[in-house]
Structure 1
């Protein structure tokens, strides 16, 4: 998420020895190294293919065919590590979200500044473009969500969509479509709400960065859950945070709000007890949403 522009708007290294041990490659994705194996057939599987089972993880083929599962009904149903359904197209929601962002950007290019002024995140201010008072505190709550799909600059949307494509292809298969979409939207809202609560009421901001940072927070939680090497994950997160605070035109509130929201929801998704998993996941998402609504109400009361 960026502040809208304009015043108050916002040599090759040494080769490794030939005898260096390497991880096996996923049998479904030969380009992906992995240290995880299916507990049924013992073939190597990557994080996109592993499906949570009663013990360890299984590959999609063993789950679909019920190989060696006997009468275990849970093993017959393909499920992600978060309990979501497994689909042939593991990145459908990510593709749709990319398409939505591109479509809104095309509308920005076609309709111009007045279109942006109606959708960007702003607390409470007079809009010269619209000639009226606008903002979330002016009963325009929709701006908290529409701003998360809004971009004005080509470099901004390209950077955000690159992050969405990279992170979405790892987070969506691990959570499942509905859980992934809930995490994305709540992360975008979390970023907008913190920006609304902390930033000046007349400072517009826009962009999908809050939701992207939510996916980053979810990726950190997932990496910890499946016991990946955390050093490169922490490095990526650290560099992203440094860039967030290094540039004055970045809405750090949107980034941090999305990061915290996404991390909290992802933790509930993958660490919820199996017996009441869906109930716990829904309760946490509901609690987060209620907390965001309460924060908006408190801030609105202060502004008006």
Structure 2
């Protein structure tokens, strides 16, 4: 029996592969390597290059490797880009997921875990959200993910498959053992951008919007270490294996940090006072997105081990230094 990880050559997916391989699981990674890296896939997993939306190809992979569980990370994730190019997001996220789910049903896959996003909530105000907070995504990215959530619920009602949806808040940091991290050179993740600027890889960085209704005027987000996030995936998979009901869960620590707070933390950890410029708001960015994280703790007995912004930044900075050495 095999776990298929789509997008397993990417940032979050590669950490899931590590977690599964560390537990002795048989893992196959499906990735088109458009944004992922073959070298990021742990040697204990088998990498298959292809498109997760190609039903015939995915069906062959499922049959060949006796895949019974899928953890689906593949997709596009940049909110401003989704506003500029919505059809790309409905193709790469919604349409691809739809075809993957059909291939899973036809192939007899028992459990399906989906990588969703806090962007499904949209503009929520400053209060932390819970799973039944009204869903009002502001961007094609958020809508493309929400559509997949709906599809999974409908499919599970009609077929013998259980699913888990994990709504990510802002994922950051890197594997504490230094085996993987956010490796996309021009990724838009705030902590990565700040770390690259601290290391001289960028001349300066920008704050997008300083007039939000937040304590310091900049956007507030709930940052979660990638290792804690992946542990929630592992616990959710075990929950489904034991016959647990399908779940939709927020993955967050329950506290937010502003853009300025994050930048100040990167400056403190790196010891570099790098250049920061202020610019206008970006389309599709809510003022604040945080969550209580109570349900995921209760349902999965999830206990975060890296709930510390300084520690998150340190692992991210260490990974950027590793990439600089690797790419020389």
Q: Shorter-chain TM-score: which interval?
A: under 0.3
More strand by share: 2
Normalising by the residue count of structure 2, what TM-score does the alignment of the two structures yield? 0.26
Which structure's CA Rg is the greater one? 1
Normalising by the residue count of structure 1, what TM-score does the alignment of the two structures yield? 0.27
